[in-house]
């Protein structure tokens, strides 16, 4: 019987190739980084405080006369020079008063001159008994009365002249008109306020120093501050006045810095965040580019072996190219200042500098 051919049923030993779409495990990418050192240096300390800008001089200018306003030669926001005309009051009555006082003074001086000549003419005759001594004493008394009368009339003349001068109200110093409070036709009294003027070429920065730091401030210290109205700008001042006592209500000490504002960028009333320069101490710093910010969170990457280790840090003062790190690093650490790729805790790294 012929044998029938059949397929070998034994298992095949040929290897099966993997499907072409199967995923390959990627090799870990090594990030190249450049390192910077943690260094110790002297760090200038600053006391952080808040305060408010005020005009160096801020005056509510009042009239010292009575009368109707004829002219108000200023506007709110206008610059005025020292002695500039603000208000002119009707001066007809003061003018007439001055003329009357001058005439009265001329009459008093004439009477004084007559009394003096009488005394001078009769004085030699007293010794020869040609003039009674009692009569001569009356002449001298009349001379004294005339002298006193002339002085009194001269004082009234000066008062009349002042009243006339007060009919013109002038700016007591150079500044900006903050308020205009007089209009033509109004009647003024000696205590009527006509304008408020603020000196803005120099400003006062009133700062509130906590009681616990009151012993760290003194005249002459430098002050650096910023204002919300001018973001990114920094301004300088110098402490000129230190309060004599701590305020009981707030337990703080008010100090004042003088600020040069000739460019007019700052305005009275601005709120300021300030730093008062204090003593220097030693501290650890890292390059500015080593610190990474995420909201209020600050961190640095430290290379440990061949991997990057992320550390949360507490930062302090900052300077030109450096930031103080108060907690989180040691002098033996080397921190990442730049990388050619993203970093995370545990990322493999290779340094590009020794």
Name the token pair of 294.
């995420």
Q: For residues 121 and 354, give the distance between their C-alpha atoms in angstroms, rounded to a whole number.
A: 114
CATH numeric code, 61-88+169-198: 2.40.50.100
* Residue 26 pLDDT: 55
Q: How far apart, in Å, are the Cα atoms of 234 and each of 227, 231, 237, 315, 316?
A: 8, 8, 10, 21, 18
| Topology (CATH) of 91-166 | Helix Hairpins (1.10.287)
Identify whether the C-beta of residue 246 lies closer than 8 Å to the C-beta of residue 211.
Answer: yes
For the chain, which residues make up each domain, given as ranges?
31-44+282-351, 49-57+200-280, 61-88+169-198, 91-166
Q: Are 313 and 328 in contact (CB under 8 A)?
A: yes
Per-residue pLDDT tens over the stretch 208-237: 999 988 888 999 999 999 999 999 999 999
CATH code for the domain defined by 49-57+200-280: 2.40.30.170
Burial class (CB in 10 A: 0-12, 13-18, 19+), 86: buried
The DSSP secondary-structure symbol of 261 reads -
Residue with tokens 């095949």: 12
Mean pLDDT throughout 26-49? 86
Mean pLDDT of 105-126: 91
Closest CA to 140 of 161, 166, 168, 120: 120
Q: What is the pTM of this model?
A: 0.63
Q: Give pLDDT, residue 317.
A: 86
pLDDT digits (tens, 9 = 90+) for 66-82: 999 999 989 999 999 99
CATH topology of domain 31-44+282-351: 2.40.420
Going by C-beta distance under 8 Å and a sequence separation of 6 or more, which residues neighbour residue 213? 47, 49
- The predicted pLDDT at position 205 comes to 96
Q: Give, in order, the Cα–Cα distances in Å from 47 to each of 59, 80, 266, 283.
A: 32, 37, 22, 16
* Residue 33: its H or E element: strand 31-37
**Residue 23: is its pLDDT beyond 80?**
no
Share of the chain above pLDDT 70, in %: 92
> pLDDT tens-digit profile of 241-279?
999 899 988 899 999 999 999 998 999 999 999 999 887
Kindly state the average pLDDT of the residues 19-45.
75
pLDDT of residue 352: 86
């Amino acid at each position: 019987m012929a044998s029938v051919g059949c397929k070998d049923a034994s298992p095949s030993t040929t290897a099966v190739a993997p499907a072409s779409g199967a995923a390959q495990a990627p090799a870990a990418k090594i990030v190249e980084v450049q390192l910077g050192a943690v260094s110790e240096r002297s760090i200038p300390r600053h006391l952080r405080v808040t305060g408010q800008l005020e005009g160096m001089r801020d005056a509510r200018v009042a009239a010292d006369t009575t009368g109707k306003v004829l002219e108000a030669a200023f506007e709110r926001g206008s610059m005025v020079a020292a002695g500039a005309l603000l208000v002119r009051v009707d001066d007809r009555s003061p003018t007439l008063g001055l003329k009357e006082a001058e005439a009265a003074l001329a009459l008093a001086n004439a009477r004084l001159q007559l009394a003096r000549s009488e005394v001078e003419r009769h004085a030699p005759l007293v010794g020869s008994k040609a003039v009674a001594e009692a009569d001569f004493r009356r002449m001298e008394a009349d001379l004294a009365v005339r002298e006193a009368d002339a002085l009194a009339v001269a004082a009234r003349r000066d008062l009349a002249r002042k009243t006339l001068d007060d009919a013109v109200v002038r700016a007591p110093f150079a500044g900006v008109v903050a308020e205009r409070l007089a209009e033509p036709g109004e009647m003024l009294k000696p205590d009527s306020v006509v304008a408020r003027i603020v000196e803005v070429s120099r400003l006062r920065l009133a700062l509130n120093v906590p009681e616990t730091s009151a012993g760290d401030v003194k005249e002459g210290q430098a002050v650096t501050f910023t204002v919300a109205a001018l973001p990114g700008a920094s301004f300088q001042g110098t402490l000129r006045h230190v309060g004599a006592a701590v305020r009981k209500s707030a337990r703080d000490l008010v100090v004042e810095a003088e600020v040069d504002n000739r460019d007019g960028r700052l305005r009275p009333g601005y709120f300021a965040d300030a730093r008062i320069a204090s003593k220097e101490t030693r501290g650890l710093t890292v390059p500015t580019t080593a610190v990474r910010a995420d909201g209020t969170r600050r961190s640095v990457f430290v290379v440990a072996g061949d991997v990057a280790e992320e550390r949360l840090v507490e930062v302090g003062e900052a300077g030109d190219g450096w930031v103080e790190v108060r907690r989180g690093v040691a002098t033996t650490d080397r921190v990442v200042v730049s990388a050619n790729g993203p970093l995370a805790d545990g990322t493999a790294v290779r340094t590009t500098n020794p």
